[in-house]
């Protein structure tokens, strides 16, 4: 292990990953381990604080737009009106997918694909498609061979727009609808919902989705962001780094918990009596089953993102005249908190929020990428700006050294 005092940490510096604790051996999963320095995201799990570049998430969720947050993550400050206008225009300009990408999308197995094991579909397939299409975008980016800071900044903008267009179009095709051209008049959140559903969303729906994008935009060195930074540290291109992040997000221990929450709610059923939610969850707890959407590796109090998603779930349910999903969620939240002393995390109320917006469960994890692309690209750009290859060391626990080679005939 490297002594923390041996050399200072700088953004992107190569370090033998060191533990914040005094123990010599690293914790499993690198828990509480500092791997780099970053100016992007601040977390305080004991106080339930999440901040982007010093701005509290509650302040941003109440007042900002996703476009403003993108600028903040990329530039470490909020934009002026002119700068925001320029970014909005650049995002609009980048929404339309290159024709080869559209052709590739039509050739891929959207929805479900026959396999030797039957039919395969769902969020895993959608993440496979997003990974493949994002990789293909790199071939058709006009700055593909330019790896300058200015070109990478332009690619970050294009990726943010194009991933949203890909996910919305995948959802549209999965539901049997034809792809829609983006609407240049609409903002990022509204345009996504329009391209997905074919309907121009209400002000409430637009704001709810905009806030959801803000809340999911970044979360320090989570698994997918760390994967992106490790890839970027090799000086691979930005598209490859984002593909690494998407492949990591596909894993069920990272993305997908909100989809599991919605499946639990659907299992209970919207026509069930409210008490059934408690009965189903009690039965699962009795069998030692994990209830999705609770607890967090970082937060020891309420996940600050859950605060806003709870409000949005309630308001959207009232607007739709279907409050049962929110009511069931409240019952489950109260029970799990009482029985397991676990708080709801960002995934728990995002499930009913997305469902109320008419979003398919199979799109929940890809939509995570629609938001997190802003944070992923911010971290990749930060890595490029002060780069050194990330090459940690392992705590060797194998057979003692040296082992004597035994000839084959004597074994």
Superfamily, domain 81-252+373-385: Citrate Synthase, domain 1 (1.10.580.10)
- State the virtual CA torsion across 78, 82, 83, 86 in degrees, nearest 10: 140
Could you list the beta-strand ranges (E) of 130-214.
none
pLDDT at res. 146 = 97
* Residues with active-site annotation: 296, 347
pLDDT at res. 147 = 96
pLDDT at res. 304 = 93
Are 67 and 88 within 8 A, CB to CB? yes
Residue spans of the chain under pLDDT 70: 1-24, 110-124, 274
> Given 3.40.50.300, 3.30.420.40, 1.10.230.10, 3.40.50.1360, which CATH number is that of 257-356?
1.10.230.10
pTM of the model: 0.88
pLDDT at res. 124 = 61
pLDDT at res. 243 = 98
Q: Which residues contact 175 (CB under 8 A, 6 or more apart)?
A: 360
**Residue listed under structure tokens 């859950």:** 306
Nearest of 75, 69, 71 to residue 385 by alpha carbon:
75
CA angle 259, 107, 95 (to 5 degrees): 65
Joined tokens for residue 217: 């935009």
Per-domain residue ranges of the chain: 81-252+373-385, 257-356
Sign of the CA dihedral running 196, 201, 204, 210: positive
pLDDT at res. 53 = 98
What is the distance, to the nearest Å, from the Cα of residue 389 to the centroid of all Cα atoms in its chain? 24
pLDDT at res. 117 = 38
């Amino acid at each position: 292990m490297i002594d923390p005092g041996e050399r200072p940490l700088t953004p992107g510096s190569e370090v033998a990953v060191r533990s914040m604790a005094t123990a010599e051996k690293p914790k499993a999963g690198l828990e509480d381990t500092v791997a780099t320095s970053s100016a992007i995201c601040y977390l305080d799990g004991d106080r339930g604080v999440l901040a982007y570049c010093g701005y509290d998430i509650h302040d941003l969720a109440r007042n900002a737009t996703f476009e403003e947050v993108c600028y903040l993550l990329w530039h470490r400050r909020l934009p002026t009106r002119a700068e925001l206008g320029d970014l909005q225009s650049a995002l609009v300009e980048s929404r339309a997918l290159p024709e080869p990408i559209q052709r590739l999308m039509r050739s891929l197995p959207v929805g479900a694909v026959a396999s030797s094991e039957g039919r395969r579909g769902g969020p895993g397939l959608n993440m496979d498609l997003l990974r493949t299409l994002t990789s293909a975008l790199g071939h058709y980016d006009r700055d593909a061979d330019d790896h300058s800071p200015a070109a990478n900044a332009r690619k970050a903008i294009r990726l943010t727009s194009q991933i949203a267009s890909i996910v919305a179009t995948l959802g549209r095709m999965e539901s049997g609808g034809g792809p829609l051209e983006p609407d240049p008049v609409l903002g990022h959140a509204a345009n996504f919902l329009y391209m997905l559903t074919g309907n121009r969303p209400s002000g409430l729906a637009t704001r709810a989705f905009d806030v959801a994008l803000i809340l999911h935009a970044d979360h320090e060195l989570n698994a997918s962001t760390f994967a992106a930074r490790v890839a970027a540290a090799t000086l691979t291109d930005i598209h490859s780094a984002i593909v690494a992040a998407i492949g990591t997000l596909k894993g069920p221990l990272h993305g997908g918990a909100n989809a599991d929450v919605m499946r639990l709610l659907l299992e209970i059923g919207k026509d069930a009596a409210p008490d059934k939610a408690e009965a189903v969850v009690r039965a699962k707890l009795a069998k030692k089953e994990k209830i999705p959407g609770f607890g967090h590796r970082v937060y020891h109090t309420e996940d600050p993102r859950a605060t806003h998603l709870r409000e949005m779930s309630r308001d959207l349910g009232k607007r739709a005249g279907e409050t049962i999903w929110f009511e069931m969620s409240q019952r489950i939240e109260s029970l799990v908190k009482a029985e397991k002393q676990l708080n709801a995390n960002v995934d728990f109320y995002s499930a009913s929020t997305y469902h109320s917006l008419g979003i398919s469960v199979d799109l929940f994890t890809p939509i995570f990428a629609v938001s997190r692309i802003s944070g992923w690209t911010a971290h990749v750009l930060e890595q490029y700006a002060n780069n050194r290859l990330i090459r940690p060391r392992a705590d060797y626990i194998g057979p003692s050294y040296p082992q004597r080679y035994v000839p084959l005939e004597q074994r």
